[in-house]
Structure 1
Amino acid sequence: MRQRLGAYGWAWALFYGLCLGLTGGKWRPSGVGCDNLWKVKERAVRGWNYDLHLPGADMMGLDTDSDTDMGSGDDPVAGLGLWSGSQLEPGMNAPPFTLHTLDGPLSFPLSGQQGPASLILHAFTNKSGFLGHYEYIKITFWYCYVNHRVKDIQRVKNLLSRLHFVPTPVFALGNWIAAVFYSWRCQGHNCGFSQVVFSSPDLKLTIIGKRLDARYDWLTKSWKSVPYILVDGSDGCNITSDVRGAVALVSAEGNCSYFTKIKNMADSEASGVLVYVSRGRPLQDMNCEGVECHTTINIPASIIHFQQDVINLLRNHIKVNVNFQHTPSPIFFFGINMERKLAELGWFLYPSFNFIIWQAEWFTYIKNLEAKLRRPAFVIHVFNDTRMQGDKGVVATIDLPEDIFSFNHLELDVSLSCPGTTDETCAHWDHRIELYVCCKENSSLCNAELGRWITPFRRRIGHWLTDVSPLLPMLNARKCTFTMKTVPWAMPWKPSLNLRFTIAGQIITGYNSILHPFHLLRLFTGGIFNINYNKKYQPFKFIVPPSTKKVDLYAVITGHGSDENGCGEFCVTSHHFVINGIFNNSRIFDKAGTSLGCADRVSEGVVPNEHGTWLYGRNGWCDGQNVAPWTRDVTKQVNMQGINSILYFGWYKGKDPNPKQNPGEIIMHSYLVFYN
């Protein structure tokens, strides 16, 4: 079946409702040092092909495997009827279609489904090293209904029947789908064609081949848009002076790993490495393994197909030049979510279908979120797609209802969009967004933080529901001013905010009770995470107010910045609240710095496939997610009648932080919450 698909410049895979429990391909280990993750993050956001030549390309003429006439006229989608590419945008309803698959016709909207299903459409081309590499093409696709999980291999095989191949080139589909593929802008790792160009006076024609660059978070150097001299480096398993100052062409064969080959060539002072696979073999993802990832290699490397003419010239000591280029292309993927709306799929940082799985998980997350938002609640609209930028942010003064104190449950319904209709109009970097509220100017709670979020890297689909019920005492007047802002130099976002009030019962001492948070006691804040971090904290004395039935510890904690240990963004920190010298309530962010610490949380609201290093675990947060408050019931830890104490301290590796340079920062607010 794969060979049949390969005969077409653009063939099809269409699959819907992806199962969320499967993964495929080799994951890079978590061995990359936390101290290097900040550099990787910056490189990912700024891009690593930005300095390569982008040759002019007819975006509609990439199907060179066929001589089919696309017709005349300026509109590349002429003849497709009402739905042209300029009319269909992300978020719009997907029009009906019928595709002729190898198993017969498949029509949308889908019929006979037992539950809502999403669809992901993938146009395959054999011109792309990214799409055609070994680990990528061997991964199978699967289908399942909402919340269904694959548990055994036999079930995987059964689910493969839900994969639909459409052996028709995109230009011949005759419907609106081609318009979306051709007109939606494509940027990033899963877009365009990364190519290597060989030239020599002894070559009759320039040879242009596809390439797959080594994993972005392993080798941080990029190819430049200048000609290099190419030199034979044999199999790369030994250091050689022959490659000094040139690009080494080495065989994938030999008794050594990709890491060893590239390190040997770096130690030989080569300018870069091209690894070629044996004749007829597919490209493979070049990555480090385990402790290899701790070794810094400062040259670029790519893997390419076997090129006999180039090898012959080098072995005959004939000069060969090599250049690197990136040719634009239409998009390869888009989706239809469970609400039947068109959706972008974002960035694929490396060739793996797990990025499609994460997008499918997001579709399911949004469906579940929409179900929660349909529950009865008293809703107050604060912001609605309002532009946020600069020192002021967005500000709204709202009248609260007279019976506001009858509610004991408050959720923040926040969505984050961008000035345009596509991801490319979004801000490039991740920053904190904070929501502040002031209801009484003379109150100690005036302009306290009510909620916190982290912006995604260039995606406009964020939507979260955050329970901040313990902070209801902040709303201590009928009129309140809400301010939402991020750093003033950030590109603009367009947030929406709704307050959702409900009444919820709680279980306490064995019976149901409607408890209300009636008093907040401010505790500790964060600061610069250095050797002096814990010196400023002293035990805090407090008395439990009369009529209290329950006491909660409430904290929002995130780490930012990067010292030599990756602190505070990528390091594991622990935060301890000790009550009455006995009870240690600890919060440990043990996923910080792990390779998939945030990718594993898409089902919890992490925006997938962002245009940056969104996958790595962070210190108390993830890119493109709300910062969930941490609460702990400490009722049994306090003396309801006498004096109590609480002490806080924060640790790195079980002791006070002690960075040598550029200390990070802990952003924290914490409270004791009293209920009656």
Structure 2
Amino acid sequence: MTDNLQALYGAKWMFNRINVLAKRVLRSETEVNAKMDQFHFSVLSLSKLGNWLPTLLREWECVDHNCGYDQVLFQAGNTEYPIVLKRLDAHYDWLRSPVSTFGNKTLPVVLTNSDGCQPSSTVNGSVALVNSGGCSYFKKVQTMHASGASAVLIMQNQTETPQDMNCQDNECTVPLSIPACMIENFNFDAKSHLNVTFQNTPSPSFFAAIDPQGALQEVGWFLYPSMSFINWQTQWFQYKRNLTQQLQKPAHIVSVFQEQVMQGQTGVVVNISTAELKGFQHLELDMSLSCPGERDTTCGHWDHGISLFVCCNPNSTLCGMEIGRWISPFRRRVGRWITDISPLLPMIQNNQSDTCTFTMKTAPWAMPWIPSLNLRLYKTSESTAPSETFVLYQPGATFDKHYNSHFKPFNFIPPADVKKVVIFAVITGHGSDENGCGEFCVTSHHFSVNGHINNITFSEAGTPLGCANQVLTGVEPNEHGTWLYGRNGWCDGRNVFPWVIDITQQVSLNKHNQITYFGWFNGTDPNPKQNPGMISIYSYLVYYRS
């Protein structure tokens, strides 16, 4: 739906765009037709709708990012009026934006009358206009860059609409310093002397959704023009449906706090009676995260770690230890996650105190968030249950050449009545050295138990869509930031998944055992030259008994 004067054109363009994607993804014409029947387009003026939609568009108007039409404005020497065409910039993290590079400058254009896959001396110092096809987008930009072009415009043929311009695989690691974008097809006079200006025309750009329960929902920010963002929002609805089913499972629910303001050094602090926590074998954290207002725009602008600490016995080494971790999103307010922390049940059950103190906090300088927390406790028919917990390694260390020296061997002798032994660990990387460590680099982490190596590698770190591809696991989609990138053990707008290792077969009862831990970058100790990042870790050894 649009209030653009070219409404019919816009509807046809969007229809064709969706149809191209459907044909690319679906297997048969029948499936394509069935999918296209689910899309509806309105070309009526908003003033003629006579329903709630005009009010929605007025009150939920687009703000901040991508609120307008990205365009190129061509001016030919022999024409009185400019030619204005739609443009799609290259993927935001691959090439620079032409607007951020040139501002409102007018630049000369050279019509190459080629696909741009071969060098051309005629483009030196000008914007190169090339045709689609013939080679990859990367090859076109690289070739025109080498030929001296200041930017590249790729014009689609007459049967295609502008497509997403992305690099592929190793191409993405080769730096290119000129902007590029794709434009729709237009018949230029080959003899024309063209100039181009890159512009953004303000418009009431707007996206909203109705979820499966019939509720109106915001859909966040479209970081660049792509139908993928609609798909990710749809996946989020699927995740929420699965979560709702999971929450309907019978459980003993302890409400720790509901919609409390979390900000500053203190965070949210609540005391809970231990009588409510005993007699169960399974424990989940049900945490939701909202914002002070009713719109995404009221949410914190940056991502920060959120930690949950517990203390049930001030004299215990377990007092004040971390039992849950989440990463806040960039300006979205719809998150809710369930985290299974059953191995840590002894931390809230094995004590003489009448209360346990739960503390949730984030960076003290962060904007306020509104979290809610429930404990979901179950009784199970399993033959064993966690009975004793010991602190292994925490809270982490700077990820430099001295990193592994911080973690000393842990020695233990499990009693004969122990039936199962596990390691419970949460590990995340933050900061950025010259290798992107610890947030965007691939690291591996290793627990050696009596010489048996147990390891995990965060291979998605630094990949362009490493977290966008995990919306079905709880990543809040379409955040107002670089949420799409894979991170080192975490994603923006999601809980951090614990790593639980069953080491029962690696342990000898009533005998001396030893655990060691080390973390690697590129298969060896980290050794950054500048600005080392850090690894945040909390880990426990847990005994299970009958």
TM beyond 0.5: yes
Aligned partners of 2:260, 2:239: CA distance in 1, in Å?
24
What aligned pairs does 1:583-622 form with structure 2 within 5 A after superposition? Answer: 583-622=452-491
Residue 162 of structure 2 is matched in structure 1 by 283
User: Does 2:14 align with 1:140?
Assistant: no
Closer/same/farther in 2, CA of residues 137 and 324 from structure 1, 3 Å limit = farther
Alignment of 1:575-590 (within 5 A): 575-581=445-451, 583-590=452-459
Look up the match of 2:130.
251
Residue pair 1:127, 1:193 contacting (<8 A) in 2 also: no
Is the 8 Å Cα contact of residues 141 and 160 (structure 1) preserved in structure 2?
no
| Corresponding residue number in structure 1 for 2:297 | 424
- 1:229 is aligned to 2:107: yes
Give the C-alpha shift of residue 594 in structure 1: 2.9
Q: Which moved more, 1:634-643 or 1:436-445?
A: 436-445
Deviation at 1:167, TM superposition (A): 5.0
Distance change (3 Å), C-alpha of 1:222 and 1:428? farther
Cα distance, 1:556–1:663 mapped onto 2, change above 3 Å:
same
Give the CA deviation at 1:566. Answer: 2.1
Q: Is the 8 A contact 1:127 1:210 kept in 2?
A: no
Q: Distance in 2 between matches of 1:159 and 1:201?
A: 48
Q: Which amino acid is the alignment partner of residue 520 of structure 1?
A: F
Deviations 1:345-369 (A, max 9, x none): 2233344433323222211221221
State which of 201, 204, 215 in structure 2 corresponds to 1:327: 201
1:21-420 equivalent positions in 2, closer than 5 A: 62-65=3-6, 126=10, 136-140=18-22, 153=28, 156-157=31-32, 159-160=34-35, 162-169=37-44, 171=46, 172-187=48-63, 191-199=67-75, 202-223=78-99, 224-232=102-110, 234=112, 235=114, 236-237=116-117, 239=119, 243-246=123-126, 248-252=127-131, 255-278=134-157, 281-308=160-187, 312-314=191-193, 321-392=195-266, 394-402=267-275, 404-420=277-293
- SS of 2:501's equivalent in the other structure is strand
Indicate how the Cα distance of structure 1 residues 222 and 432 shifts in structure 2: closer, same or farther if over 3 A, else same.
farther
CA separation in 2, counterparts of 1:128 and 1:544?
Answer: 70
Q: Is 1:469 the counterpart of 2:342 in the alignment?
A: yes
Deviations 1:172-204, CA, capped at 9 Å, x for gaps: 433223432454222577642111223467532
Q: Name the amino acid aligned to 1:63.
A: N
Q: Does 1:558 align with 2:432?
A: no
Alpha-carbon distance between aligned partners in 2 of 1:540 and 1:604, rounded to the nearest angstrom: 33
Give deviations 1:441-463, integer Å, cap 9, x for gaps: 23212211111001112211110
Contact 1:184 1:331 in 2 (8 A): no
| CA displacement 1:491-512 (0-9 Å, x = unmatched) | 2221111122222232xxxxxx
Q: Which amino acid aligns with 2:273?
A: L
Whole-angstrom CA distance in 2 between matches of 1:188 and 1:141: 33
8 Å CA contact 1:412, 1:500 repeated in 2: yes
The partner residue of 1:456 within 329, 341, 347 is 329
Which amino acid letter does the alignment assign opposite residue 377 of structure 1? A
Q: Secondary structure of 1:264's match?
A: helix
Q: 1:353 to 1:302 in 2, by over 3 A?
A: closer
Q: 1:487 to 1:222 in 2, by over 3 A?
A: farther
Equivalent positions of 1:501-512 (< 5 A) are 501-506=377-382
Show the counterpart of 2:371: 495
Residues 372-424 of structure 1 deviation map (CA, whole Å, 9 limit, x = unaligned): 223333322223222222222x2223231425321222211111111221222
Match of 1:543 among 413, 428, 431: 413
Give the Cα–Cα distance (whole angstroms) in 2 for the partners of residues 213 and 379 of structure 1: 49
- 2:22 counterpart SS class: coil
Q: 1:345 to 1:549 in 2, by over 3 A?
A: same
Q: 5+ unaligned residues in a row in structure 2: which ranges?
A: none
Secondary structure of 1:434's counterpart equals strand
Tell me: CA distance 1:586–1:489, structure 2 relative to 1, closer, same or farther (3 Å). same
**Per the alignment, in what secondary structure is the counterpart of residue 603 of structure 1?**
helix
| 1:531 matched residue in structure 2 | 401
Aligned partners of 1:193 and 1:566: how far apart in 2? 34
1:570–1:593 contact (8 Å) kept in structure 2 = yes
Mapped to 1, the partners of 2:33 and 2:10 lie a distance apart of: 27
**DSSP-derived class of the 2:275 partner:** coil
Q: Secondary structure at the match of 1:518?
A: strand
1:234-267 deviation line (CA, Å, top 9, x unaligned):
1444555655554x14121585543233223433
Deviation at 1:217, TM superposition (A): 1.9
3-state SS of paired residue (2:40): strand
Q: For 1:349 and 1:286, locate their aligned partners in 2 and report how far apart those are by CA, in whole Å.
A: 14
Q: Given residue 339 of structure 1, which amino acid in structure 2 is its aligned partner?
A: Q
Q: Distance in 2 between matches of 1:532 and 1:233?
A: 57
Structure 1 distance, partners of 2:21, 2:40, is 15
Q: Does the aligned pair in 1 maintain the 2:392–2:410 contact within 8 Å?
A: no
CA contact (8 A) 1:412 1:466 kept: yes
CA distance, structure 2, for counterparts of residue 153 and residue 675 of structure 1: 53
The answer to whether residue 318 in structure 2 is matched with residue 445 in structure 1 is yes
Q: Tell me the SS of whatever aligns to 1:406.
A: coil
Match of 1:229, as an amino acid? L
Question: How far has the Cα of 1:637 moved from its partner?
Answer: 1.8
1:112-133 CA-partner distances (Å, limit 9, x unpaired): xxxxxxxxxxxx962898x58x
CA distance in 1, matches of 2:39, 2:514: 64
Query: Quick one: distance in 2 between partners of 1:489 and 1:321?
Result: 47
Contact 1:562–1:569 (CA<8 Å) still a contact in 2?
yes
**Matched residue SS, 2:237:** helix
Contact 1:528 1:666 in 2 (8 A): yes
1:482 correspondence with 2:358: yes
Q: Distance in 2 between matches of 1:560 and 1:400?
A: 35
Q: Would the alpha carbon gap of residues 414 and 202 (structure 1) be closer, same or farther in structure 2, given more than 3 Å must change?
A: same
- The answer to whether the Cα contact below 8 Å between 1:434 and 1:484 also exists between their aligned partners in 2 is yes
**For residues 633-654 of structure 1, what are the alpha-carbon distances to aligned partners after superposition, in whole Å with 9 as ceiling and x for unaligned?**
2222211111111111112222
Q: Unmatched 5+ residue regions in structure 1? A: 1-9, 12-61, 67-123, 143-149, 315-319, 507-512
Asked whether the equivalents of residues 309 and 324 of structure 2 are also in contact (C-alpha less than 8 Å), the reply is yes
RMSD: 3.0
Secondary structure of the residue that 1:283 maps to in structure 2? coil
Counterpart code for 1:289:
Q
Q: Does the 8 Å CA contact 1:415/1:462 hold for their aligned counterparts?
A: yes
Give, in angstroms, the shift of residue 546 of structure 1: 5.8
Match of 1:313, SS?
coil
CA–CA distance in 2 between the matches of 1:324 and 1:479?
63
The structure-2 alpha-carbon separation of the partners of 1:397 and 1:386, relative to structure 1 and needing over 3 Å to count, comes to closer
